[in-house]
Amino acid sequence: MAPTSHKTPPPELDTAADRSSAAPPTMPSFDDSHRTTDELLHLADAHLFKNYRPASVVFVRGQGSTLEDTEGRKYLDFAAGVAVNALGHAHPRLVRAISEQAARLMHVSNYFFNEENVLLAAELCERTGFDRAFFCNSGGEANEAMLKLARRHFYAKGDKSRYRVIAFENSFHGRTIATVNLTGTPAYREGFGPVLEGVTHVPYGDLDAVSAAMGPDVCGIFVETVQGEGGVLPAPPGFLAGLRALADEHGSLLLVDEVQTGMGRTGSLLGFERSGIRPDAISLAKGLGGGFPIGAMLVPERLGGALPPGTHGSTFGGNPLASAAARAVLAALYDDKLIEGARAKGAILGKRLAEIAAKHPDLCEGERGEGLLRGLIMKKGVDGRAALATVREEGVLLTVAGGRVLRFTPPLIITEAEIEDACVRVDRAISKLRIESIAAG
Ligand code: PLP
């Protein structure tokens, strides 16, 4: 799948005639006539809020693990919408579930039950061993729910001073005001007002530091099983078990953020499963809807009443359309053995990334990760974003985590041949990066 040249767009996507007859970029006519890449980029520049820094690529369609842009260029999608598109793009089962549900019932609100949501809750509980599910629309919201759950649980028991949360340096839990305060990188909360009271950050992996920070005022320990955004850092062996023991010793809850690690990505349905522990609550999003927005918090029965009616909710949470999408994803994960596949294919990807790192010791430090959540660690001083752009020029989409880790989160339907193809391209991109850095002196 050699990327098509920018200069030879396929006629159905972009023609000179289109360009000459099109309206000026900042004055769109609201019809459905085709727009060129330049026009779209101009409109984006003029009208989209500037809180992101996207590459100058506009995508128009996807199929399997491949995305296609307005210029007809095809890319192997090893970003998968930041660990979201578990079934890749245009997966027939997901497309059918969403289309049929959209034609049947899209939204009713939480004043009533809806069939798809009730079934999703039951299926998720059956698969995970939790008893109750709260639904929302994103990972940040799922984590907000988990924080509210922990505080409100103790409040309801009369323990009103138990509101402090232990969270970890380098963690990522979302962009809402509460979740940037849980997030362990201070830059994410800079300028957003007073720090949320009652969050203590300690180094990830350091049980002594957690132990020292614990106390009778701690309601919960908030942790990722692999720090995804922080640079694909798996929890050290024994860390999650140690947290479980500390939470039990001090009577607090263990709250696991499975937004990035959940839904099979790390080679088990949930990231914590291989550690032998059970958290008191987990948050899910990303892969849960396979690209359709949905988040969830799962809890055991004993916490099922911690947020009674009136204390929490979401207008769109648990809507039939999102629920149908998540049911289709869950079914495909098991029917198509995608979780075992993530483990096996993750091992193959990890081995290839280790080979690439060994081949470029001047630019790469190594690889790490679990299942299909993996990182190629670049050396200090390598500009992660520049590396990303070079890899993209070779037709592979990745993301950067922790500043200098090239993060690989392909769809779980990725094939071994696609992994090999992507690795050949990444290897070539890194060679190019070296030549460019030598040229730059
Ligand atoms: N938690 C983790 C571990 C994440 O990786 C993310 C997003 O990257 C979030 C929470 C926030 O999810 P969302 O962007 O859906 O709010």
pLDDT tens figures, 424-441: 999 999 999 987 776 666
pLDDT of residue 15: 32
Q: What is the DSSP letter of 273?
A: G
* Residue spans of alpha helices (H) in 13-131: 16-21, 37-47, 80-83, 92-104, 115-128
> Does the CA dihedral 43-44-50-53 come out positive or negative?
negative
Give bridge partners of residue 374 from the DSSP assignment.
Answer: 369, 408
Answer yes or no: are the C-beta atoms of 413 and 85 closer than 8 Å: no
Answer yes or no: are the C-beta atoms of 107 and 429 closer than 8 Å: no
Among this protein's residues, is 148 annotated catalytic? no
| Site to substitute for ligand 1 among 185, 223, 259, 370, most atoms within 8 A of C-beta | 259
The residue with tokens 């359309």 is 321
The residue with tokens 């959209």 is 102
Using CB distances shorter than 6 Å, the residues near ligand 1 are 82, 138-140, 143, 172-174, 224, 228-229, 257, 259-260, 285
Calculate the alpha carbon distances from 434 to 368, 390, 439 in Å: 22, 11, 9
What does the radius of gyration of the chain's CA atoms come to, in whole angstroms? 23
Q: Within 10 Å of residue 386's Cβ, how many Cβ atoms?
A: 14
pLDDT of residue 245: 98
Give bridge partners of residue 226 from the DSSP assignment.
Answer: 234
Q: Which of 130, 154, 168, 172 is catalytic?
A: 172
Query: Rounded to the nearest whole angstrom, what is the distance from the C-alpha of residue 173 to the centroid of ligand 1?
Result: 5
In ligand 1, the atom with minimum distance to the C-alpha of 227 is 3
Q: Could you tell me how far CA 365 lies from the centroid of its own chain? A: 24
**Straight-line distance from the first to the last Cα atom of the chain, in angstroms, rounded to the nearest whole number:** 33
What CATH topology corresponds to 105-335?
Aspartate Aminotransferase; domain 2 (3.40.640)
Among this protein's residues, is 74 annotated catalytic? no
Answer yes or no: are the C-beta atoms of 339 and 370 closer than 8 Å: no
Residue boundaries of the structural domains of the chain: 35-89+338-440, 105-335
Answer yes or no: are the C-beta atoms of 283 and 296 closer than 8 Å: yes
Among this protein's residues, is 427 annotated catalytic? no
CATH superfamily, domain 35-89+338-440, is Aspartate Aminotransferase, domain 1 (3.90.1150.10)
pLDDT of residue 34: 81
pLDDT tens figures, 143-157: 999 999 999 999 999
- Edge-to-edge strand list for the sheet holding 295-299: 132-136, 295-299, 281-284, 253-257, 218-224, 164-168, 199-202
Query: CB-side exposure of 201: number of CA atoms within 13 Å?
Result: 16
Amino acid at 117: N
pLDDT of residue 235: 98
Query: Rounded to the nearest whole angstrom, what is the distance from the C-alpha of residue 174 to the centroid of ligand 1?
Result: 5
Residue ranges in the chain whose pLDDT is less than 50 = 1-24
Question: What is the distance between the alpha carbons of residues 64 and 96, in angstroms, rounded to a whole number?
Answer: 15
Answer yes or no: are the C-beta atoms of 120 and 322 closer than 8 Å: no
Which of these, 344, 294, 364, 357, lies nearest to 322 by C-alpha position? Answer: 294
Same fold, 35-89+338-440 and 105-335: no
Rounded to 5°, the CA angle 145-189-204 comes to 75
Query: CB-side exposure of 70: number of CA atoms within 13 Å?
Result: 15
pLDDT of residue 285: 98
Which of these, 388, 429, 418, lies nearest to 89 by C-alpha position? Answer: 418
Q: What is the DSSP letter of 23?
A: P
Which pTM does this prediction carry? 0.93
pLDDT of residue 1: 45
Q: Which of 74, 148, 286, 345 is catalytic?
A: 286
Rounded to 5°, the CA angle 195-227-223 comes to 60
Query: Rounded to the nearest whole angstrom, what is the distance from the C-alpha of residue 220 to the centroid of ligand 1?
Result: 19
